[in-house]
């Protein structure tokens, strides 16, 4: 883990900058004749070796230069993005430091893995992907500033980044003004849609409604206690949950409680749950509070054999901190679990562990982050261009059959069609999948009757 972190922190900046400079120079000096192909291929090989391109598990594919030649830079890049004949630069914008580093590290790793695999396959339109990584430092204005830097100074073709809704809201105006493309990995509260963003996680209804229907149908839950950390995502999600419970399920909400982020004492809340005796506790607690919440629930005797609990905020990443033994038997509704049994996922988990260590775990958002670069590659190739407007226009209908979660497709509204799944927490910190939706669920960021 620590080795992986160090690698992560030490490589990106200098190499990417150095490489870019070299590349710009060679581009300037190069006469526009076809016989430079040998030379450039040579330079490319050298650079690949210099980079170390840690794609050990993948055969070093020969870059498909003729493919690149079919797509001359002047044609695929009419808006002055950082695209040359041999490479394309993308940005990565997450918190590598600060409190959010806990959550965002997985996304950083997954995006890097995807980009590395794409490069090993020959890149995008015959161009190798280079990453410029910026650190949002868990600070929203910093996110906006770095987004501007990536789009204006570096002219990146796409940005993979953000995690919290707050950071996304902070960068959104920048992406819309400077016309950039953001691939956003986290499940979130919905109520947003932008030409400049592809949401690779679930919006609220995709995660909430299926889960609530499942506990109502399979477990007969008729009364719910809603709990959340006190900020936009849990509050909006619980609002949708309450509407669904009261208006569509005709069931009862017997309590709704919010606690400040970072709150560590839940004993009074637990007593309130004991008084209300809900059939189902619906929990959206995040961060360090999550750990305290489940440890204290267990200590107060609220365990899975006595209480049904459904959460949408606990993934394999959170379970590292909580410890499976503190919440085994509870249920989570996600679209992805590390334990999913399919060929895509097996390959993905193996590659991830080969790169980041056997102990690495993969949560829902990490998988969603992995989708970003692949969806972008498919979109660019469909559009035959890196230009933002063309990529945005080509996005709807793009599918990715190699997704670890199965199959995903981009909707008109730039969210993904994806399945919802119920997993039961095991003592080893993994989930056992109990149920999954029969079909892909349509993303609906502005649900009618839920506002």
Partner 1 sequence: MPDPPLPVHEGVSMTAAEITNIVMMQGFAGLSLFSVLLLMGLGLAIIFGQMGVINMAHGEFMTIGAYTIFLCSSLTQTYAPSFMPYYFFVAIVTAFILAFAFGWLAEWALIRHLYRRPLDTLLATWGLSLGMQQAFRSTFGAKEVSPTLPEWLLGSWMPHEGLDIPINGLFVMGLTLLVTGGVFLMLYRSRWGLRVRATVANRTMANAIGINTRKTDRMTFAIGCGIAGVAGAAFTTIGSTGPTSGSLYIVDAFLVVTFGGAASLLGTVASAFGIAQTQSVSEFFMTGSMARVLTLLLIISILMIRPQGLFAAKVRR
Using CB under 8 A as the criterion, which residues of the chain lie in contact with partner 1 when the complex forms? 1-2, 5-6, 96-99, 101-102, 105-106, 219-223, 230, 252, 254, 257-260, 262-265, 267-272, 274-277, 279, 287-292, 295-296, 298-301, 304-308, 317-323, 325-326, 328-329, 424
Q: How far apart are CA 162 and CA 111, in angstroms?
A: 12
In the complex, least distance from residue 362 CB atom to partner 1, rounded to whole angstroms: 12
Residue with smaller CB distance to partner 1, 6 or 46: 6
Question: Taken in order 23, 24, 25, 30, is the CA torsion positive or negative?
Answer: positive
Output the CA–CA distances (angstroms, integers) from residue 1 to 99, 131, 318, 355, 358, in the order listed: 18, 21, 16, 10, 9
In the complex, least distance from residue 438 CB atom to partner 1, rounded to whole angstroms: 22
Residue with smaller CB distance to partner 1, 87 or 104: 104
Q: How far apart are CA 6 and CA 90, in angstroms?
A: 21
431 and 423 in contact (C-beta within 8 Å)? yes
In the complex, least distance from residue 329 CB atom to partner 1, rounded to whole angstroms: 4
In the complex, least distance from residue 131 CB atom to partner 1, rounded to whole angstroms: 19
Residue with smaller CB distance to partner 1, 72 or 220: 220
In the complex, least distance from residue 144 CB atom to partner 1, rounded to whole angstroms: 22
In the complex, least distance from residue 361 CB atom to partner 1, rounded to whole angstroms: 8
Residue with smaller CB distance to partner 1, 162 or 174: 162
Residue with smaller CB distance to partner 1, 169 or 263: 263
CB-count exposure of residue 52 (10 Å: 0-12, 13-18, 19+): exposed
In the complex, least distance from residue 394 CB atom to partner 1, rounded to whole angstroms: 35
CA neighbours closer than 13 Å in the CB half-sphere of residue 196: 19
257 and 269 in contact (C-beta within 8 Å)? yes
Residue with smaller CB distance to partner 1, 115 or 292: 292
190 and 447 in contact (C-beta within 8 Å)? yes
Q: How far apart are CA 185 and CA 198, in angstroms?
A: 9
Residue with smaller CB distance to partner 1, 298 or 382: 298
Helix, strand or coil, per DSSP, at residue 414: coil
136 and 167 in contact (C-beta within 8 Å)? yes
Q: How far apart are CA 285 and CA 291, in angstroms?
A: 9
In the complex, least distance from residue 272 CB atom to partner 1, rounded to whole angstroms: 6
CA neighbours closer than 13 Å in the CB half-sphere of residue 153: 11
The conformation of residue 324, written as its DSSP 8-state character, comes to G
Residue with smaller CB distance to partner 1, 79 or 426: 426
């Amino acid at each position: 883990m620590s080795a992986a972190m160090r690698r992560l922190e030490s490589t990106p900046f200098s190499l990417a900058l150095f490489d870019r400079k070299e590349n710009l120079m060679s581009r300037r000096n190069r006469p526009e004749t076809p016989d430079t192909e040998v030379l450039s291929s040579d330079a490319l090989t050298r650079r690949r070796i210099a980079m170390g391109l840690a794609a050990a598990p993948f055969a070093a594919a020969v870059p498909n230069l003729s493919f690149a030649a079919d797509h001359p830079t002047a044609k695929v890049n009419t808006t002055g993005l950082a695209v040359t004949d041999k490479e394309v630069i993308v940005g990565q914008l997450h918190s590598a430091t600060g409190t959010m580093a806990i959550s965002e590290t997985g996304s950083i790793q997954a995006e890097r893995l995807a980009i590395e695999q794409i490069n090993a396959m020959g890149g995008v339109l015959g161009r190798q992907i280079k990453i410029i990584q910026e650190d949002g430092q868990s600070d929203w204005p910093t996110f906006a500033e770095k987004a501007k830097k990536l789009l204006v100074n570096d002219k990146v073709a796409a940005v993979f980044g953000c995690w919290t809704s707050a950071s996304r809201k902070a960068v959104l105006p920048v992406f819309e003004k400077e016309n950039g493309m953001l691939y956003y990995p986290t499940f979130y509260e919905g109520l947003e849609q932008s030409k400049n963003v592809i949401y690779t996680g679930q919006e609220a209804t995709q995660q909430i409604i299926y889960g609530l229907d499942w506990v109502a149908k399979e477990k007969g839950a008729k009364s719910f206690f809603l709990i959340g950390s006190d900020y936009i995502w849990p509050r909006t999600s619980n609002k949708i949950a309450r509407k669904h419970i009261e208006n569509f399920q005709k069931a009862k909400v017997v309590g709704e409680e919010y606690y400040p982020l970072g709150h560590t004492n839940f004993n009074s809340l637990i007593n309130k749950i004991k008084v209300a005796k809900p059939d189902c506790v619906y929990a959206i607690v995040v961060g360090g509070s999550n750990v305290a919440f489940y440890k204290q629930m267990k200590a107060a005797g609220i365990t899975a054999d006595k209480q049904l609990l459904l959460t949408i905020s606990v993934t394999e990443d959170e379970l590292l901190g909580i410890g499976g033994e503190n919440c085994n038997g509870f249920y989570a509704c996600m679209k992805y679990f590390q334990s999913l049994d399919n060929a895509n996922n097996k390959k993905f988990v193996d590659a991830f562990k080969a790169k980041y260590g056997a102990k690495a775990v993969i949560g829902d958002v990490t998988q969603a982050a992995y989708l970003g670069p692949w969806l972008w590659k498919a979109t660019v190739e469909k559009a035959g261009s890196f230009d933002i407007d063309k990529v945005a226009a080509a996005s709807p209908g793009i599918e990715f059959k190699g997704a670890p979660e199965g199959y995903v497709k981009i909707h008109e509204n730039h969210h993904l069609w994806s399945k919802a799944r119920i997993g039961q927490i095991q003592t080893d910190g993994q989930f056992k999948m109990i149920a999954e939706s029969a079909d892909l669920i349509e993303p609906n960021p502005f649900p009618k009757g839920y506002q």
